[in-house]
Amino acid sequence: MKVNSLKNVAGAHNDGIWAAAWAPATDSRPGLLITGSVDETVKLWRGDELECERTNTGHSLGVVAVAAHPGGRIAASTSLDSFVRVFDIDSNATVTTLEAPPSEAWLMQFDPKGELLAVAGGGSCSVKIWNTTSWKLEQSLTVPKAENGADGKAADKVGLGKFVLGVAWSMDGKNLACSTMDGTVAIFDVGKGKLIHTLEGHNMPVRSLVFSPADNHVLFTACDDKHIHMYDARSRMLVSAFSGHASWVLSVDASPEGAAIATGSSDKTVRLWDLKMRASIQTVTDHTDQVWAVAFRPSGEGSSSGRLASVSDDKSISLYEYT
C-alpha cells in the first residue's frame, strides 16, 4: 500500500486551488479530474499527463467546491458567491444554477445513485438537498444548535448554531453526514429527513468528511485540530484518532477498496493511512503550501492501479499512482 508521484502540474491555476473531484469515465472518455480555484475558474484534466481539457469560467469569487455526478456526465461547482453551477462535463453547457439564499454553498456531494445533490449550507446551519432531475430543492436538513444544550461545549457565542461546512453520503445513500465549524458531526436519515444523532470528539472546524466505501457506517472526519477521526456512525463510537499532521487537516478521502485513507493538510503534506494498522504509512511532500483537497479516482475504470490527486494553495496539482 503506497502512492507514487506521477506528475505535478505547477501553475495549474492562476491562484490557489481549493477543490478537486474525479468525474467517472463514460463510454466516450476516461475519467477526468475537476479542479476549482480562487482564480474563479474550474478546470478539467485528462489522463496521467493531466492535460488541461477545458477551463470553465462563470464563477465570481473563489471556487470552493466541485462535485461530479456518479454517471460522469454532469458536475457541479460552487464558489464564495454561493451559486451552485451544474454543468455538462463534456460540453460545459450550464445545466442549471442553484441558490438557496441566504444559505451559502460549501462542500457538495452527489448521492451514490446520483438522484440527489447535497450542498453544505454554511451559516444557514443546514444541508440543502436538490433533486438532480427536477433541480428542485427537495429537503433542507438543519443541524440544531445544541442537543439539549448539555454537550459541554462552550456556547456558540455568535448564536449561529452549527455552521455547516461539509457533507458526505454513506455508500448505501441512506445516511448523510455533515460537519460543522464547532466540530460537531451530524448524521441524518435522509429518507426520513431526520437527524439521527451527532458525533462528538472534535471541537474545531471539520472541513472534510467521507464515508468508507467498504462500510456504510464508518466515517472519517478531517479537523482543524490536526486529527482525523474514525467513527462508527451508527454507535456514535469514536473508533480511532489519527495524529501526525502538524497543522489543520483540510481534506480526507477514502480509497475505493476502503483499505486506506488519504489526507491533505495545512502542513503542506499529503498522508496515506493504513486503516488496518491505524497508522500513517506515507507522507508526501510534493506541495509547497496548504493542501486543500485530496481525491481518489473511483475504481472500475478498467485500469490496473488507482489514482490519487491532491491540489494546493501552491497552484499545483499532484497526481499519484495508488497501489
Q: Which of 69, 85, 245, 307 binds other proteins (CB under 8 A)?
A: 245
Taking alpha carbons only, the member of 251, 262, 243 closest to residue 290 is 251
Least distance from other proteins to the Cβ atom of residue 51, Å: 27
Q: Is 241 in the site for other proteins (CB under 8 A)?
A: yes
Close Cβ partners of 87 (under 8 Å, ≥ 6 residues apart):
56, 74, 75, 76, 77, 93, 94, 95
User: Using CB under 8 A, which residues numbered 252 to 281 contact other proteins?
Assistant: 266-268, 277-279
Decide if 258 contacts 242 (C-beta within 8 A): no
Q: Is 289 in the site for other proteins (CB under 8 A)?
A: yes
Decide if 226 contacts 207 (C-beta within 8 A): no
Q: Which of 13, 69, 128, 202 binds other proteins (CB under 8 A)?
A: 202
Look at the chain and count its residues.
323
10 versus 246: smaller Cβ distance to other proteins: 246
Taking alpha carbons only, the member of 125, 111, 46, 91 closest to residue 301 is 46
Instruction: Give 297-308 as a 3 state SS string.
Output: CCCCCCCCCEEE
Q: Is 154 in the site for other proteins (CB under 8 A)?
A: yes
Q: Is 159 in the site for other proteins (CB under 8 A)?
A: yes
Grid coordinates in use for 206?
Answer: 471539520
CA distances in angstroms from 125 to 136, 211, 247, 314, listed in the order given: 19, 21, 26, 31
Q: Is 243 in the site for other proteins (CB under 8 A)?
A: yes
136 versus 276: smaller Cβ distance to other proteins: 276
Strand order through the sheet with 3-9 = 3-9, 317-322, 306-312, 291-296
Q: Which of 244, 259, 282, 303 binds other proteins (CB under 8 A)?
A: 244
Q: Is 226 in the site for other proteins (CB under 8 A)?
A: yes
Q: Which of 17, 35, 104, 179 binds other proteins (CB under 8 A)?
A: 104
Q: Which of 60, 94, 131, 285 binds other proteins (CB under 8 A)?
A: 60
Q: Which positions lie near other proteins, rule CB under 8 A?
A: 15-16, 18, 38, 60-62, 64, 80-82, 101-102, 104, 106, 122-123, 152-154, 157-160, 163, 165, 181, 183, 201-205, 224-227, 238, 240-248, 266-268, 277-279, 289-290, 313
